């Protein structure tokens, strides 16, 4: 009996290893992406997805309806939940209209703010703010499509920590990951209760639990977070709904079209 159990255990480990070795995140993009769209009632007929090894630039989506997905980001995805996290983040940027908004700002200013040190600081703040907005939309898309939104935390924390992260004893992308965790806990608490089975999530949770404990001891911090999460929920749900009813256009896409005279 022991031999049978041992044989079963060894075969299970081998099968798991083979599955991990043969999983190709790039090959799953189209299926996962279309599922995200369909389950969120977003028309799929005129939206295409491509995997690229170049820097992702979805600023042309409003014209060509192509969503580019980074091959580098996909290397951190080990299952469909994690592929969904990568794809949903790009869709989050498109739904919030970040690229079209940037195009409008550039048209009006004619210069890049990154040409100065102050401009670089502004740009870093803008980048983090936009990533958080896209992440929140991504969590909604994932949860609605049946994917575990905590996979978005895992994909981020699988990445290499910066020196600054290491000095502060934080996981990679700690600020974004914490924002995703807080929002998921607020909007989809059952997903957070169910957890996510991998070492990266367990390591992140050790960090997150300490942050939550300190925040719970500060009523003002807790109140501030509650207001932020309420706003995230209201704005992100509205953006997805309006993107859907506009046939795949964000508010900023429409404004950019008016500016172009379309």
**Two tokens, residue 191:** 């997903």
Kindly report which listed range (8-22, 45-59, 142-156, 192-206) carries the lowest average pLDDT score.
8-22
Question: For the residues 33-46, what does the mean pLDDT come to?
Answer: 92
Question: For the residues 28-53, what does the mean pLDDT come to?
Answer: 94
Question: For the residues 110-123, what does the mean pLDDT come to?
Answer: 48
Q: Is the pLDDT of residue 61 over 80?
A: yes
Report which of 60, 72, 46, 58 is spatially closest to residue 248, judged by C-alpha positions: 46
Select the more confidently predicted residue: 216 or 107. Answer: 216
Q: Is the pLDDT of residue 12 over 50?
A: no
CB 244 within 8 A of CB 40: yes
Select the more confidently predicted residue: 180 or 109. Answer: 180
| Residue located via tokens 């102050």 | 118
Calculate the alpha carbon distances from 103 to 19, 55, 131 in Å: 43, 17, 17
Band of the pLDDT at 172, cuts 50, 70, 90? confident
pLDDT at residue 21, as a whole number: 58
CA 190, chain centre distance (Å): 19
pLDDT at residue 110, as a whole number: 57
Band of the pLDDT at 136, cuts 50, 70, 90? very high
Query: What are the pLDDT digits (tens) for 66-100?
Result: 999 999 999 999 999 999 999 999 999 999 998 88
What is the pTM assigned to this prediction?
0.84
Q: Is the pLDDT of residue 205 over 90?
A: yes
pLDDT at residue 99, as a whole number: 82
Question: For the residues 20-37, what does the mean pLDDT come to?
Answer: 91
């Amino acid at each position: 009996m022991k031999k049978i159990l041992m044989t079963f255990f060894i075969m299970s480990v081998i099968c798991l290893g083979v599955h991990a070795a043969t999983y190709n995140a790039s090959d799953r993009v189209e299926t996962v992406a279309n599922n995200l769209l369909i389950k969120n009632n977003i028309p799929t007929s005129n939206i295409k997805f491509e995997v690229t090894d170049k820097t992702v630039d979805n600023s042309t989506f409003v014209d060509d309806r192509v969503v580019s997905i980074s091959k580098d980001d996909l290397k951190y995805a080990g299952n469909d939940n994690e592929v969904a996290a990568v794809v949903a983040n790009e869709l989050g940027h498109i739904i919030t209209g970040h690229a079209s908004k940037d195009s409008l700002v550039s048209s009006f200013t004619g210069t890049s703010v990154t040409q100065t040190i102050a401009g670089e600081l502004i740009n870093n703040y803008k980048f983090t703010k936009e990533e958080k907005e896209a992440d929140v939309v991504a969590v909604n898309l994932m949860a609605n499509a049946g994917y575990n939104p905590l996979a978005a935390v895992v994909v981020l924390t699988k990445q290499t920590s910066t020196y600054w992260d290491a000095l502060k004893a934080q996981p990679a992308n700690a600020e974004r990951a914490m924002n995703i965790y807080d929002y998921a806990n607020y909007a989809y608490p059952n997903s957070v209760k169910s957890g996510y089975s991998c070492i990266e999530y367990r390591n992140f949770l050790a960090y997150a639990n300490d942050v939550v404990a300190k925040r719970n001891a500060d009523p003002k911090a807790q109140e501030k977070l509650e207001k932020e999460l309420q706003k995230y929920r209201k704005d992100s749900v509205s953006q997805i709904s309006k993107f859907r009813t506009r046939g795949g256009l964000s508010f900023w896409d429409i404004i950019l079209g008016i500016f172009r005279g379309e």
